[in-house]
Structure 1
């Protein structure tokens, strides 16, 4: 079992793509189109690889959830990557600063960024193949 996709409502698909293309340079636009969602026009796009993707729709209004607050909603989502340092370098080069570093841990490295739509995205690199070590506090 695995998570196939996340569907994010944004106000600007191109801005979102700029961020995620820097994070995942091997991904591509799988499909795109337009239509309406509950009476409002929208464009949509699927960006990913053959097995995983992010679905974007551009009919967002208002701002995203305040990440430092306590409102119900998405706190963050995370991707396992081969090299956190490489992701940081690509995103920094594209103009996106690290929002916060993850906690020091002997078996993983992680970092958090805020994407252009205000979603917090974690990138984690595991330094062990042993689940008890990877998942320890």
Structure 2
């Protein structure tokens, strides 16, 4: 079993696309269009295994998820092979790491960023194959 996609409404698809392509250079627009009901833009951005369905709603009022106190998706977590490469690409594209959420230990490294829409993204690099070590809290 695996998660194929997540569907997220954003203020600007262009902002999310810039962030995601910076993190994952293999991500491309797999499909796009406009919803017939309200002419709202949508895209599917990803690779052959996983994608994000992004719906643009320029006039929407985003939730304040900075303290995880409201209903909604707080962040999406991506398992990556090379966290340093993700950091380098995102930081060279102008994104700053959220330092207070950073975690580094002998079994995993986790770094967090916000995209241009204010959405939070987590990137985790596991340093072990053993599930009981990966899942220590």
Please confirm whether the aligned pair reaches a TM-score higher than 0.5, indicating the same fold: yes
Equivalent residue number for residue 8 of structure 2 = 8
Gaps of 5+ in 1: none
Question: Equivalents in 2 of 1:120, 1:127: separation in Å?
Answer: 23
Equivalent residue number for residue 111 of structure 1 = 111
Gaps of 5+ in 2: none
Give the CA RMSD over aligned residues.
1.4
Question: Equivalents in 1 of 2:65, 2:50: separation in Å?
Answer: 27
Distance 1:34 1:27, change over 3 A: same
Question: Equivalents in 2 of 1:21, 1:67: separation in Å?
Answer: 23
Give the paired residue count: 135
Equivalent residue number for residue 93 of structure 2 = 94
Structure 1 residue 69 displacement after superposition: 4.8
Q: Deviation string for 1:48-92 (max 9, x for gaps)?
A: 111100111112501233321511221211000011111010000
Check if 1:17 corresponds to 2:20: no
Question: Equivalents in 2 of 1:35, 1:104: separation in Å?
Answer: 42
Question: Equivalents in 2 of 1:50, 1:69: separation in Å?
Answer: 31
Equivalent residue number for residue 54 of structure 1 = 52
Q: In 2, are the aligned partners of 1:64 and 1:117 still within 8 Å (CA)?
A: no
Q: Which runs of 4+ in 1 moved over 3 A?
A: none
Question: Equivalents in 2 of 1:119, 1:134: separation in Å?
Answer: 25
Structure 1 residue 102 displacement after superposition: 2.2
Question: Equivalents in 2 of 1:21, 1:124: separation in Å?
Answer: 17
Equivalent residue number for residue 74 of structure 2 = 75
Distance 1:45 1:125, change over 3 A: same
Check if 1:31 corresponds to 2:31: yes
Q: Equivalent of 1:43, from 36, 41, 44?
A: 41
Equivalent residue number for residue 65 of structure 1 = 64
